[in-house]
Amino acid sequence: MLDQYSRNIDYIRISVTDRCNLRCVYCMPQTCKTYLGQEELLTYDEIVKLAGIYRSLGIKNVKLTGGEPLVREHVDELIFRLKEECGMEKVTLTTNGILLEQQLYGLVKAGLDGVNISLDTLNPEHYNRLTGDCNTGKKPSDSNLEAVLWGMRKAQKQAGISVKVNCVLMHQTREELLALAELAKGSINIRFIELMPIGQGKEKHTLKETDVKQILCETYGTIKPVAEKLGSGPAHYIEIDGFEGKIGFISAISHKFCGGCNRVRMTADGFLKPCLQYETGMDLRTLLRDGVSDAELKAQIETIITQKPKCHHFGEMNEPEQTEHRGMSEIGG
């Protein structure tokens, strides 16, 4: 469906949990946080019911997020239902990759179309610092990075599933960025993502798209923009001679893409957000559990999507009062 600015909204990010088995410094507070109770989460039946309404409004692509979506049991069953019962054309998943290898067979069998693996460095020491745990004195297992890489390699070998790596830009060294970029020498697309100033991210320094492109140009010579659109999201890509995969950028701050934004988000507790920055939206869980009709649910969802804001105002001197105060793990990354 079209919003008030004639943007075609055909993509939704659905968070299935706010829990995670890591504590990435830009996503979760390092002090222990309180998670949603089981009764506060949307059930899979509730997600499927809402997804059917989204599909009737023209939304055809779903990204499952968290938290870490694979810590919630039976995500493969949800994927199957989104494809078979709701008719979603594409269902993909964003994960930190730790549980990917052990769950991959079931996910692919259920119809998963693609996986995005969050991986901000290949340096084991830096990886452990970035993904630190909130438990006093406890460090992430040294095997976590190894598990991510095994899962990534196994996913690469699966026919019909796309594999992308997402790297959030912070203060990585030149060597770290190049090591990640070289993943694209294989069949993997790597995307460098500018850190969004949400929650913990407000306190972090971030590199920008131009910084990474300069390093790539100095190292590999000419980089060429890819004209075709790859995927459902806002990434734009470049290609480098000798690389099978592409290198993409999602640069919401330095290269604002609001004019072409095609997505909305739903949190794990059922709050529909038309824009990441703003707290405004609709509590669909309460409507569902109060027993409102499907027609009323559809009307409310249609209203929220239609009213999607024109653009975000991250980084401006006077940000709107309605700016989101929750962290990314609570909203859905």
The string of DSSP codes covering 79-127 is: HHHHHHTT--SEEEEEE-STTHHHHHHHHHHHT--EEEEE---S-HHHH
Answer yes or no: CATH 3.20.20.70 is held by domain 11-331: yes
Task: Provide the CA 280 distance to its chain's centre, in angstroms.
Answer: 20
Give pLDDT < 50 ranges for the chain.
134-137, 201-202, 317
What pTM did the predictor assign? 0.91
Q: What is the per-residue pLDDT for 331?
A: 74
Q: What is the per-residue pLDDT for 32?
A: 58
Q: What is the per-residue pLDDT for 310?
A: 86
Q: What is the per-residue pLDDT for 254?
A: 76
Q: What is the per-residue pLDDT for 41?
A: 98
* One-letter amino acid for residue 220 of the chain: Y
Q: What is the per-residue pLDDT for 148?
A: 96
- Tell me the β-bridge partners of 11: 61, 263
Distances (CA, A) of 169 to 209, 234, 252, 285: 9, 16, 12, 34
Q: What is the per-residue pLDDT for 316?
A: 57
Distance between CA atoms of residues 36 and 41, nearest Å: 7
Burial class (CB in 10 A: 0-12, 13-18, 19+), 6: exposed
Q: What is the per-residue pLDDT for 231?
A: 82
Q: What is the per-residue pLDDT for 311?
A: 82
Q: What is the per-residue pLDDT for 195?
A: 86
Region of 291 on the Ramachandran plot (φ > 0 left; ψ -120 to 50 alpha; else beta)? left
Q: N- to C-terminal Cα distance for the chain? A: 23
**DSSP assignment of 13-25, as one string?**
EEE--S--S---T
Domain ranges of the chain: 11-331
